Amino acid sequence: MCGFCGTFGGHRHWGAGAVSASRPAAMRLRVARFAGDTAKETGVRVSAWGDGYQLVGPTGRRELAPDLSALWIGIDRLGRNMPDPLDPALLSRLEGERGE
């Protein structure tokens, strides 16, 4: 199955959580925004697309990720220098950008 057809498969990844069951599109937008903020230094842009995510690397190469785990693998594959999502400096920067 091609990546385009696979994004409309209707499966739910365990990482989507119960919270997203009522409003999956809104949750995907929030995840895409957070992942995009986290991956900013790698040059990868992330957006919600279909039932998953679209990643665009710094060279323009595109990849579809159907779930959260594939999203991080795609950022690592397309980007430069994958960030550690638990790095205290990164978390401080993200909290500062969000005004938290």
Q: Which of 4, 1, 7 is nearest to 67 (CA)?
A: 7
Is 70 exceeded by the pLDDT of residue 7? no
Over the range 66-83, which residues count as b (16 or more CB within 10 Å of their CB) and which as e?
bbbebbbebbeebbeebb
Please report, as a single letter, which amino acid is at residue 45: R
Is 80 exceeded by the pLDDT of residue 59? yes
Crossing angle (nearest 10°) for helices 68-78 and 24-38: 30
pTM: 0.69
**pLDDT-above-70 percentage for the chain:** 74
Dump pLDDT digits (tens) for 60-90: 999 999 998 899 899 999 998 877 778 888 7
